[in-house]
Amino acid sequence: MLLGIDLGTGSAKALLLATDGTAIGEASRPYPVHAPHPGWAESEPGDWWLAVAWLLGRQWEIMLIKYRRSHFQDRCMVLF
Protein backbone atom coordinates (compact mmCIF):
# COMPACT_ATOMS: atom_id res chain seq x y z
CA MET A 1 0.00 0.00 0.00
CA LEU A 2 1.09 3.54 -0.68
CA LEU A 3 0.10 6.68 1.22
CA GLY A 4 0.31 10.13 -0.30
CA ILE A 5 0.01 13.26 1.85
CA ASP A 6 -0.56 16.79 0.56
CA LEU A 7 -0.17 19.86 2.78
CA GLY A 8 -2.22 22.64 1.21
CA THR A 9 -2.94 26.20 2.24
CA GLY A 10 -5.93 25.37 4.42
CA SER A 11 -5.95 21.60 4.82
CA ALA A 12 -3.96 18.39 4.67
CA LYS A 13 -5.14 15.55 2.45
CA ALA A 14 -4.22 11.88 2.33
CA LEU A 15 -4.80 9.21 -0.31
CA LEU A 16 -4.24 5.53 0.41
CA LEU A 17 -3.56 3.37 -2.67
CA ALA A 18 -3.18 -0.34 -3.24
CA THR A 19 -0.04 -1.34 -5.12
CA ASP A 20 -2.13 -1.70 -8.29
CA GLY A 21 -3.16 1.97 -8.03
CA THR A 22 -6.68 1.38 -6.73
CA ALA A 23 -7.79 4.03 -4.24
CA ILE A 24 -8.53 2.44 -0.87
CA GLY A 25 -9.23 5.52 1.22
CA GLU A 26 -8.97 9.27 1.26
CA ALA A 27 -9.44 11.93 3.89
CA SER A 28 -8.77 15.59 4.55
CA ARG A 29 -8.35 17.67 7.68
CA PRO A 30 -8.59 21.48 7.67
CA TYR A 31 -6.42 23.75 9.78
CA PRO A 32 -6.69 27.48 10.51
CA VAL A 33 -5.23 30.03 8.13
CA HIS A 34 -4.40 33.46 9.56
CA ALA A 35 -4.27 36.69 7.55
CA PRO A 36 -2.21 39.14 9.63
CA HIS A 37 -1.95 41.57 6.69
CA PRO A 38 -3.90 42.00 3.43
CA GLY A 39 -2.74 39.44 0.89
CA TRP A 40 -0.97 37.27 3.49
CA ALA A 41 -1.91 33.72 4.45
CA GLU A 42 -0.11 31.99 7.31
CA SER A 43 -0.60 28.75 9.16
CA GLU A 44 1.19 27.13 12.08
CA PRO A 45 3.45 24.10 11.47
CA GLY A 46 2.04 22.55 14.65
CA ASP A 47 -1.39 22.57 13.01
CA TRP A 48 0.09 20.76 9.99
CA TRP A 49 1.50 18.07 12.26
CA LEU A 50 -1.81 17.59 14.09
CA ALA A 51 -3.65 17.30 10.78
CA VAL A 52 -1.17 14.74 9.41
CA ALA A 53 -1.28 12.71 12.64
CA TRP A 54 -5.10 12.64 12.39
CA LEU A 55 -4.89 11.59 8.72
CA LEU A 56 -2.49 8.74 9.51
CA GLY A 57 -4.86 7.46 12.18
CA ARG A 58 -7.80 7.70 9.82
CA GLN A 59 -6.00 5.82 7.03
CA TRP A 60 -5.00 3.10 9.52
CA GLU A 61 -8.67 2.73 10.51
CA ILE A 62 -9.63 2.42 6.84
CA MET A 63 -7.08 -0.38 6.37
CA LEU A 64 -8.41 -2.21 9.44
CA ILE A 65 -11.99 -1.89 8.19
CA LYS A 66 -11.35 -2.87 4.57
CA TYR A 67 -8.70 -5.53 5.15
CA ARG A 68 -8.13 -8.08 7.80
CA ARG A 69 -4.85 -7.67 9.65
CA SER A 70 -3.44 -10.89 8.12
CA HIS A 71 -4.09 -9.53 4.60
CA PHE A 72 -1.90 -6.45 4.86
CA GLN A 73 0.40 -7.07 7.83
CA ASP A 74 3.27 -8.38 5.68
CA ARG A 75 2.57 -6.03 2.75
CA CYS A 76 3.03 -2.63 4.38
CA MET A 77 6.10 -0.55 3.63
CA VAL A 78 7.16 2.91 4.71
CA LEU A 79 8.95 5.17 2.22
CA PHE A 80 10.60 8.44 3.21
Which mean pLDDT values do the consecutive 10-residue runs of the chain (80 residues) have?
A: 92 92 92 94 94 92 71 53
In this structure, is the dihedral angle defined by the CA atoms of residues 32, 34, 38 and 41, taken in order, positive or negative? negative
**CA–CA gap between residue 30 and residue 21 (Å, rounded):** 26
pLDDT of residue 80: 42
pLDDT of residue 69: 55
